[in-house]
Structure 1
Amino acid sequence: MRDRKPGRSSSPRLRIAGRELSVLRREKTIVLALLIQLFIAAFSSFLVVGLVSLYDPSSLDGYEVEVAVSGETVDELIAAADRVDGISTTRYDDWETARGTFDTGAADTAVRVDRRDGRIEVTAVAPDSSVESTVVVAQLQQALRGLERDERGRNAGWLDRQPLPLPERPGGSPYYGFTYTVLIPLLLFLPVFISGSLIVDSVTEELDRGTLELLRVAPVTTAEIVDGKSLAAIGLAPAQAALWILLLWVNDTPIANPGTLLLLVAAFATAVVAMGIAIATLAPRRRDAQFLYSVGVLVVFAGSTLLPGNPINAAALLAVDSATATTTATVVVYATVAAAGYLGVRTAIARHGFE
């Protein structure tokens, strides 16, 4: 397909972009994905409680774990457990009695702590129920970690060389950490994946149905067709991200640096849209193109997480207002690379056409 008259008005691009967005309403899978994201963002303050319980079961408030303990170092374990919220302990003289308390349901777990060869040996039993077992084990792990810290501190004087000090236990709220390191990056980058999938479907459908032939008759160039389709796909991602940020703010989750975050989202949307156009042009069958696109997106994002300024960390730092000059520079680099990649794909298609 050859370019017609370069330098035309941008209105053909806008008309093509509008046509793409109108077609989007018929894509039930994409519309459903958008509605799911909308639901998560709109009710984030409510859903985050349940999501955090899966992310960090020990963060559940109001759930008391009753522990039946016995053994030679009961005092040490009780002292460590007393520093953990949501755990209550009961001392028993022997393991059989403690285990019997668990078997009858009077205790959520039974633990025996004995000292053997200078080390503390722990035996614990937990319920079979998957949900209850997860919460019990998560709470018990905190007590045992405290016991380990105490034991290291007591034995430090016997060492010939002083070991490195253990880091202090972080005191941040798991809800805060989950919101800014998991939920917000998830809501920001899911629209990016949708944008790439949208452009793949659009191009492959045009090639499969032969509707690109109709555009050949219209007074538009190949570059304008690429720009119009890309404008709809790329613009969808930051538009969704802006709405999610607004809804999070309504739910009392403040997001810092929204402009830079939207630039980051637009940069990755541009990159995946360029990749999607290239894949759809080379593999015009929809199923093959979507498979290649999915693999390509996984490779791109998995590879980007290995970078010092990976996008997930950059989004979290920006959202929590802890970004440095390096973080901002990283976003600019992503935007520059994405723009260069898109211009390269656009130039190649404008010169050789979609077929």
Structure 2
Amino acid sequence: MGDPRPTIAKRELGSLRKEKTIVLALCLQLFVAAFSSFLVVGLVSLYDPGSVGNYEVDVAVSGDATSDLIRAASSVGGIDARPYQSDDAAMRAFERGDVDAVLSAERLHGRVFVTATAPDSNIETTVTVVQLRDALREFERTERAERSAFLTSSTLELPPETQSSPYYGFTYTVLVPLLLYLPVFISGSITVDSITEEIDRGTLELLRVAPLSLSDVVDGKLLAAATLAPAQSALWILLLGINGTPVSNPLSLLAMVAALSTLVCSLGAAVALLSPERRAAQFLYSIGVLFVFGGTTLFPHNPINTSARLAIGSPDPLAPAVVASYVVLGAGAYLAVRYLVGGVDPNEL
């Protein structure tokens, strides 16, 4: 008799076609990857509303620092700043709908205090607030530069302004990690459901009659779930490239996905064996994944940062070591599950 684990893995992959939730999730990811060049425009408008362009905000400016604030606001695209004699006049214009926002700038004890008023719960509120933020940042930079000439000691130079594209940043820091790691979470959930379903229906006993050991059954299910994520990620990377979003270092990225998929699926298998009740197992798995991935964000070389830099093509010198460490963690998690399976009595499941 040959190795039964590939047969079990093939059976698991075939049964996924009956899971409507899983199929829907896969189709959604496929749609995002296949049409990323179109979807990214709409998604970036949510990620960075200031990038929508061609939208001009009319702002009423009042106070004794009006001229300085208008000069700074005029250098920011998308703002039409108008001076008003008083705060009351500016607010009346705002209430009539003549302007979209109000900025009141008053000088007091050598400082400038600015009060901003924007519409509440309006569809244009987010874009208006973003434009006001950019204007106030420019005003702050101008004030710092002008006042530095009167200081007795030299100060640090202001950092140069960056003109990076929000589409570029969103694609590589949000979209690419989302497509890479969402399949990882789904694979872990599949593992939990697969094992708990076998236990709940009593089919685990039938599999062992084959004859198969519990280790063979768990290995086959892990093989199916853990290979699904890197296979999906490879397809997503290919589709992103076809849509004009080249992804660098694909082999390193797929190695990370495979390692994290093994880690997460091993966690799911351990939870399912220790807590065979399906709802409880899914809850514990979700908490465990949140804890694991939430903990990694505390480190500079977390999966999202590392994958984004690899995808862009500017990896950190430690990136190979980081990828290798995730591979080691994935292998260690699998060995830990194998040890756990060896101590589980199948008759008690």
Task: Name the TM-score class by shorter chain.
Answer: over 0.9
**One of 85, 92, 95 as aligned partner of 2:84:** 92
Say whether 1:138 aligns with 2:142.
Answer: no
Contact 2:230-2:258 at 8 Å conserved across structures:
yes
Identity rate of aligned residues, in percent? 56
In structure 1, runs of 5+ residues without a counterpart are 1-7
Match of 1:9 among 2, 5, 28: 2
**Aligned AA (2:235):** L
Corresponding residue for residue 57 of structure 1:
49
Give the Cα separation in 1 of the matches to 2:99 and 2:203.
69
- Distance in 2 of aligned mates of 1:332 and 1:194: 23
* CA apart distance, 1:45: 1.7
Match of 1:113 in 2: 105
Matches within 5 A, 1:281-320: 281-320=273-312
Aligned residue pairs: how many?
347
Shift of residue 351 of structure 1?
Answer: 5.1
How big is the alpha-carbon RMSD for the aligned residues of Structure 1 and Structure 2? 1.7
Question: 1:164 is matched with which residue?
Answer: 156
CA deviation map 1:42-65 (0-9, x unaligned):
222222222222221111111111
CA displacement at 1:132 relative to structure 2? 0.9
Amino acid at match of 1:230: L
CA distance in 2, matches of 1:58, 1:64: 11
**In 1: Cα distance, 2:120 partner to 2:311 partner:** 40
In the alignment, the residues of structure 1 paired with residue 75 and residue 186 of structure 2 have an alpha-carbon distance, to the nearest angstrom, of 46
Deviations 1:88-123 (A, max 9, x none): 222233333332322222221122222122111212
Question: How far apart in 1 are the matches of 2:211 and 2:317?
Answer: 46
In 2, Cα distance between equivalents of 1:280 and 1:88: 60
- Match for residue 215 of structure 2? 223
- Tell me which of 195, 200, 205 is aligned to 1:213: 205
Moved more, 216-225 or 175-184: 216-225
TM (norm. structure 1) is 0.93
- The structure whose RCO (Cα within 8 Å, separation 6+) is larger is 1
The amino acid across from 2:317 in the alignment is A
SS in 1 for 2:107: strand
Q: 1:309 to 1:353 in 2, by over 3 A?
A: farther
Letter of the 1:261 counterpart:
L
Give the partner amino acid of 1:9.
G
Task: List alignment gaps of at least 5 residues for structure 2.
Answer: none
Q: In the TM superposition, what whole-angstrom CA distance separates every residue of 1:190-241 from its partner, at most 9, and x where no partner exists?
A: 1000000000000001111110111112133333222211111001101111
1:264 aligned residue: 256
TM-score, normalised to structure 2, is: 0.94
Aligned position for 1:278: 270
Question: What's 2:73 paired with?
Answer: 81
Moved over 4 A (4+): none
Q: What CA distance in whole angstroms lies between the structure 2 residues aligned with 1:207 and 1:22?
A: 19
